[in-house]
Structure 1
Amino acid sequence: MKRRNDSAASAPESSATAARTQRGIQSVEVGGRLLRALADARAPLGATDLAAIGDIPSSQAHAYLVSLTRLGLIKRDALSGRYEPGPLALRLGLLHLAQQPALREAVPRAAALAQALNCSVALCIAGPQGPTIVRYEHASLPLHVNLHVGTVMSLRATATGRAFCAFLGPEALEAVWAAQTAQPVWRGTSHAASAASAPPEGTPDASFLASLDAIRARGYEIAIDAPSPGVSSVSVPVLGPEREPSLLLTAIGASGALDVRADGAVVRALRNAAADIAAAAFPSTPTCPE
């Protein structure tokens, strides 16, 4: 019986598979360029700006913007005429976040922590510019700090930002530092006019890098009366499979009321929660440093 040449027989199939993989719909990809331009800008844009950034003629871009608006991927502000992400884009983004194992494990724990510790608790994930709030559990008592879902935390000025930086590799830290330099982020109130609240410039300096070593050693970071006077915070990272910060738990409360002691209830509760989240989301990954 003639032996079948498996390699020869699979070659046409492989070529056909590659051809199918490469085939796409050009108009969809062109529309995707407009969506990417809007996402990269992180701010509403006019049709002319979107067309220029997406490298699409303005006359052609208009038809794409109409279709994307009908789909709900973008929406047009009636007053400014600028475009921003639409309801379908929001639903897709939330669906993506919901699939992240660490966030899925963290959401119920954040609510429990806020109630048990009587403070606000923010869940942050890595964004293009730095740690970004994706869940915010408010304290029972009012807290005079302007934080909400979507807020990007300053790498230098906040406990969340510094805890995030501490567990990034050199290249990742340099990239996010440069991205945050180019865009405004939350650095506390206007009253916190100190060197710590200044926007990052260039690359992290030696003193900042040295402070990251200490954060890695203890596994958490604290900020007292900074970057907002009267407000303190404790931040603990949840480390992923590559020891990267997949999520950050941050407790935020009034200075004097929030227990920021190294052996205090807040630090212990956050570290225990971070360890539980990591164990459930990444069973084979070591938990936060002891």
Structure 2
Amino acid sequence: MAQTGQTATGAPIGAPTGTRAGATAGDGTVGKALEVLDSVASYGRPVRFSELLADTPYPKATLYRFLQTLTNQRMLTFDPERSTYAPGIRLVRLAHAAWAQSSLAPIARTHLDRLSALVGETVHLAQFDHAQVLYVDKRNARQPVEMFSQAGKIGPAYCTGVGKVMLAHLPPEDLDRALAQQSWHRFTEHTFCDADSLRRELDAIRARGYGFDNEEHEPGIICVAVPILTAKRRLLGALSVTSTTTRTDISQLGLLAPQLQTTARAIADEAETWAFPQSETTPQGGA
């Protein structure tokens, strides 16, 4: 689980976090407002105006205008007693729609249940989100262990098992762009902290077809991960089995790679044939 004082990427507040996946020059006011929304959400708790002012590049009046608009649109809520902002209830509806329509979670649910029952360890399903890892579903181990990753959380790509296997299967230009956006914060003594060393690790992952997190993000937490790829090798996401160094070791987790790969293929096959239900009635003629 994330500890107090961490950003949404899992780095301690104040640590470099790389390029934020926010507004580009052509995104205008909408992009900037969404950056403010991202900033509010990244705290993981209600946040005061003064904190946001210090965390965002916008002048006081501009930031206030964005916050007012987002609040009016129910994307944020404002608590007048505590003078704090928090994500709004409208986001719950949008998040549910995104989960149902854009994530692998609904497709993968039964496959994750089956894999979790088989291995008895924590299972993660993740997708790539602007050079970071988005955990979209999770199954706890028979003996749960507290860790950072939870469904809906964003994590770093360069030091997580699911992140590395997804990076390893990006097209070259996309990989270059993603590596340029990594923070390279050292979480543990095992963390990859530069692009060159990580590229060598990614070469090894591509060669064997799976990757590991060897206490690179959290001390004592290890995992084996595989990419979820279509038949044409398009990246859909990643799957991992996570445990602790007190229960097992990397070599033992590696023995689970074939089961992970079988599950990943099943998820990919179902994703390729997935079609959203059509309306029972089709409009005839003009509008």
Identify the TM-score tier after normalising by the shorter chain. 0.5 to 0.7
- Counterpart in 2 of 1:109? 111
The CA distance in 1 between the partners of 2:135 and 2:272, in whole Å, is 21
Query: Which range is displaced more, 237-246 or 216-225?
Result: 237-246
> Alpha-carbon deviation of 1:101?
6.3
Tell me if 1:235 matches 2:225.
yes
Q: Residue 162 of structure 1 is aligned with which of 161, 164, 175?
A: 164
> Alpha-carbon deviation of 1:63?
6.2
Tell me if 1:139 matches 2:138.
no
Q: Which has the higher contact order (CA 8 A, sep 6+)?
A: 2
The CA distance in 1 between the partners of 2:56 and 2:221, in whole Å, is 40
Q: 1:65 to 1:146 in 2, by over 3 A?
A: closer
Q: 1:42 to 1:216 in 2, by over 3 A?
A: farther
Q: 1:262 to 1:229 in 2, by over 3 A?
A: closer
* Aligned residue type for 1:109: H
- Unaligned runs of 5+ residues in structure 2 are 1-27, 275-287
Q: 1:258 to 1:110 in 2, by over 3 A?
A: farther
> Residues 137-175 of structure 1, C-alpha deviation per residue, up to 9 Å, x if partnerless?
111203142322343333332222211210112332232
> Residues 107-131 of structure 1, C-alpha deviation per residue, up to 9 Å, x if partnerless?
2222322222111111111112411
The CA distance in 2 between the partners of 1:224 and 1:57, in whole Å, is 44
- Counterpart in 2 of 1:39? 38
* Aligned residue type for 2:204: A
- Counterpart in 1 of 2:155? 153
| 2:40–2:85 Cα contact (<8 Å) kept | no
* Aligned residue type for 2:233: R
* Aligned residue type for 2:182: Q
- Counterpart in 2 of 1:16? none
* Aligned residue type for 2:162: T
> Residues 163-211 of structure 1, C-alpha deviation per residue, up to 9 Å, x if partnerless?
12101123322322333328x7xx76xxx3x1x325x45xx11x43232
Q: 1:208 to 1:105 in 2, by over 3 A?
A: same
- Counterpart in 2 of 1:197? 191
Q: Residue 91 of structure 1 is aligned with which of 68, 93, 112?
A: 93
Query: Which range is displaced more, 38-47 or 243-252?
Result: 38-47
The CA distance in 1 between the partners of 2:199 and 2:31, in whole Å, is 38
The CA distance in 1 between the partners of 2:117 and 2:89, in whole Å, is 31
Q: Residue 263 of structure 2 is aligned with which of 273, 276, 284?
A: 273
* Aligned residue type for 1:179: Q
Q: TM-score, normalised by structure 2?
A: 0.68
The CA distance in 2 between the partners of 1:91 and 1:170, in whole Å, is 36
| 1:119–1:138 Cα contact (<8 Å) kept | yes
Q: 1:262 to 1:30 in 2, by over 3 A?
A: closer
The CA distance in 1 between the partners of 2:227 and 2:146, in whole Å, is 24
| 2:224–2:253 Cα contact (<8 Å) kept | no
Q: 1:123 to 1:259 in 2, by over 3 A?
A: same
Q: 1:231 to 1:36 in 2, by over 3 A?
A: closer
Aligned residues: 242
> Residues 63-98 of structure 1, C-alpha deviation per residue, up to 9 Å, x if partnerless?
664453244211235677453432212321231132
* Aligned residue type for 2:191: S
- Counterpart in 2 of 1:26? none
- Counterpart in 2 of 1:19? none
- Counterpart in 2 of 1:217? 207
Larger Rg: 1
> Alpha-carbon deviation of 1:248?
0.9
* Aligned residue type for 2:165: A
* Aligned residue type for 1:160: V
The CA distance in 2 between the partners of 1:274 and 1:83, in whole Å, is 39
Q: 1:80 to 1:111 in 2, by over 3 A?
A: farther
More helix by share: 1
Aligned-pair identity (%):
24
Q: 1:43 to 1:77 in 2, by over 3 A?
A: farther
- Unaligned runs of 5+ residues in structure 1 are 1-28, 285-290
* Aligned residue type for 1:212: L
> Alpha-carbon deviation of 1:215?
1.1
